[in-house]
Structure 1
């Protein structure tokens, strides 16, 4: 058996809290009721017998090896001068420029490489930063800053880059450092974001399956055994993120709801081949996002975008905030995901105004059903676009 492999354990905890009525569980002279389920995340090395014991434990929601996570890196990038005054093409394509909603009173979480808090696009925003890496707190890569700018960046020098540009509170979880990240880190960060009141969680990262296979081979395994073990770990991690999503949804029954939006990945190379969505976006209950590009006949699927997505958004030549100030143009499903997260914030604001709370199931349904095929070029396959290009609420 391989030594030194760490496992993630998700455990559920039911907690009794005092209630003032008689509809709960009576304990002596007092009555109690079940509080929202609590989820504990633990990372540790386990023996074969310990793993078997945990699998039989009814409180174990998921058990999976800790797999490496990597940035869904842009397929191309370039610095740009100050764009023409107005909105970026992505803002217009999703209808954010004509929506009466702006993200007011909504909290979003961006789990990425951090943020440049000094960028003018984030002036006036309460940035709650938590560093899950061993690197410095702020963004050293630029990816997280770019994604955050698309979600909630304010206008800079007359250019609109943010879909939900009046968000005033954002949770910035730095989960990817110079050495990448891991699935336990994301599990802990999701739990943190939910507990901090996020209505929308945006993630542009994915499991590094080839990297895990290489790691196992380096430990002395033959390629056949390494691939088999890695596939089992991959499957277990899909279940992990499915269980995490279930926890998020269960929490929404008792408090403000939360939805998770994730990038599908950039491993496809159309028309030669297409690759299916990878975890965490592959988890049930996580909204998987594909990328679109502009073309003469309408929007079409980007050559790199993975399939089996739920919805799609602009992901090619997306202009947003750059570390150190100014703008950069990036392409990838990482750039499409914050467009969907920003539109989700607009739908959440609408729901909050109408009902006084955000229900995650209603929000997810509204968001996915907003997709439209009207602006897409003909011949697009459903697996590649889901319900179509996401659209902001117009009333």
Structure 2
């Protein structure tokens, strides 16, 4: 028996029996010729129409954002015979600032049963000043507790059924100005103030480790991304920051207003904006790698959904954007978002997206075939040994040249490239600097390089000058063909982008392994890093999950170092030191 649209409406008796669970949907005509008003009139009796999205300055079918029961949506889908596209308006999540994962937390041998353990943690700078608004996480054998430090640098945390001896780890993540802190099996006193001291955050000045790894230091000074428009689709940008005050273009993707984009409450978009477009400073700060590009901010709200991403993509088309950098994503794909991505590509918008921070399958839209998906890598030695980044390195997958794939970086066959995304010193709102981790930072590095290629590569002044899909494909090809392979494609894609090769400045690849006669300090650092890896595998394993949907299993992590003792230069043989260096990715094999 056929179902009519009227059958899709819940009855009053159904409503009296139990509350009706509703879901936010995007609904659009499958073909052309239906106006936004006509669509709204058709759908008005089936649910609460929140708003109707009609592409701003872009030709395309309208989209109604409707809240309705799932049963109603399914009945409507059946009754319309495929004339409407009906799909959930999924929430988006930011792809940056990955926290410690469960694999980083050691297990305790004790189990405490008794009253709650309440401890006071005080976080200070090396100068003795309190560090305010630092996130402190205390991990016990049974549970964890988290809080923020007050103006005196203090936070009180309570763990149920724990004693000081069962505390497995403590993590401290400051908002800006300092390195974070990671301690395993910390010494905690219940009846005293436990003081932790954070190391100051050095500003790299002209070039950070990521810029050196991608060889931005070997390109001509005039390669600065002039006349290229980059859209940053993220949480906004704090133009109160001294290195970002020059940014003048932006829009709120949901409302279409141009007033709110210059504030970044969550502090997610601001670090990415600095990597792309930070203005040069005389003797401090960070470097923006496409400083002469024109950055357009497409601000997403904290509760962003796929419909907001569609609006941002429409803004890219309206303002003639060349490169779009997307730092958000979701697990579930969207036909309507995919349509807008394809439309943007055909009009010359090259989309670079973060792969995601769950350590699992590539997020959407990064997994789209029309998008370059970027994962994160870190570099051994670019962070203190007791930092949060050291915790990531301890559970990482080793790559070439002292690089590693952090456990949070998403993996899969859709991954195209990897880029710096661990221990990145970046701008932070309102006017500071913070060390950040995440694949959205990696995407920002690649977006900046894409702008330099469009501005200065000869191909885009000749046969690929027209803004169309061929231009986008050529840009993606250059990025991937000139990348340096550093590991398994499932984890690193085509490899680490090479600015010098991409711009035709150099044809050789960057040497990734340090020579075997590396200094004793580097060898000892490698050994110390390896000693922190809490795994027991005896040899490296080559493993590739079956190709398929984004729902993939976790890859095996880095194996443990070879068994040897190295307490000083006199007790470690040359062979053993070389083995340690090889496992750290700092030399060839022994």
TM-score range for the pair, normalised by the shorter chain length: 0.7 to 0.9
Query: How far did residue 160 of structure 1 move?
Result: 4.0
Q: Which residue of 2 aligns with 1:246?
A: 342
Which one of the candidate residues 201, 224, 231 is aligned to 1:109? 231
Deviations 1:283-326 (A, max 9, x none): 22121110001137432212211102111100001111111213
Does structure 1 residue 361 correspond to structure 2 residue 384? no
Does structure 1 residue 196 correspond to structure 2 residue 319? yes
Question: Compared with structure 1, are the counterparts of its residues 93 and 13 closer, same or farther at alpha carbon in structure 2 (3 Å cutoff)?
Answer: farther
Which one of the candidate residues 147, 159, 165 is aligned to 2:291? 165
Contact residue 55 and residue 63 of structure 1 kept, 8 A = no
Does structure 1 residue 316 correspond to structure 2 residue 418? no
Contact residue 224 and residue 289 of structure 2 kept, 8 A = yes
Task: Tell me the secondary structure at the aligned position of residue 455 of structure 2.
Answer: helix
Which one of the candidate residues 258, 261, 281 is aligned to 2:349? 258
CA RMSD of aligned residues (A): 2.8
Matches within 5 A, 1:281-300: 281-295=366-380, 297-300=401-404
CA distance in 1, matches of 2:260, 2:246: 23
Q: Which residue of 2 aligns with 1:220?
A: none
Shifted more, 278-287 versus 101-110: the winner is 278-287
Task: Tell me the secondary structure at the aligned position of residue 56 of structure 1.
Answer: coil
Give the 4+ runs in structure 1 shifted more than 6 A.
Answer: none
TM-score, structure 1 length as denominator?
Answer: 0.74
CA distance in 2, matches of 1:174, 1:306: 24
CA distance in 2, matches of 1:330, 1:153: 16
CA distance in 1, matches of 2:224, 2:380: 28
Q: Which runs of 5+ in 1 are unaligned?
A: 16-35, 210-233, 269-274
Which structure is larger by alpha-carbon Rg, 1 or 2? 2
Contact residue 262 and residue 289 of structure 1 kept, 8 A = yes
Q: Which has the higher strand share?
A: 1
CA distance in 1, matches of 2:59, 2:473: 18
Question: Compared with structure 1, are the counterparts of its residues 361 and 324 closer, same or farther at alpha carbon in structure 2 (3 Å cutoff)?
Answer: same
Count of paired positions: 327
Task: Tell me the secondary structure at the aligned position of residue 86 of structure 1.
Answer: coil
TM-score, structure 2 length as denominator?
Answer: 0.51
Matches within 5 A, 1:270-281: 275-281=360-366
Task: Tell me the secondary structure at the aligned position of residue 373 of structure 2.
Answer: strand
Deviations 1:109-136 (A, max 9, x none): 1111101112222243332232527995
Q: Which has the higher helix share?
A: 1
Query: How far did residue 91 of structure 1 move?
Result: 1.7
Contact residue 239 and residue 246 of structure 2 kept, 8 A = no
Q: Which has the higher contact order (CA 8 A, sep 6+)?
A: 1
Contact residue 69 and residue 182 of structure 1 kept, 8 A = yes
Matches within 5 A, 1:118-129: 118-129=240-251
CA distance in 2, matches of 1:267, 1:111: 20
Task: Tell me the secondary structure at the aligned position of residue 327 of structure 1.
Answer: strand
Question: Compared with structure 1, are the counterparts of its residues 387 and 10 closer, same or farther at alpha carbon in structure 2 (3 Å cutoff)?
Answer: farther
Shifted more, 146-155 versus 36-45: the winner is 36-45
Deviations 1:60-86 (A, max 9, x none): 6x5421111122240255423451432
Task: Tell me the secondary structure at the aligned position of residue 275 of structure 2.
Answer: helix
Q: Which residue of 1 aligns with 2:77?
A: 51
Query: How far did residue 175 of structure 1 move?
Result: 0.8
Query: How far did residue 184 of structure 1 move?
Result: 1.1
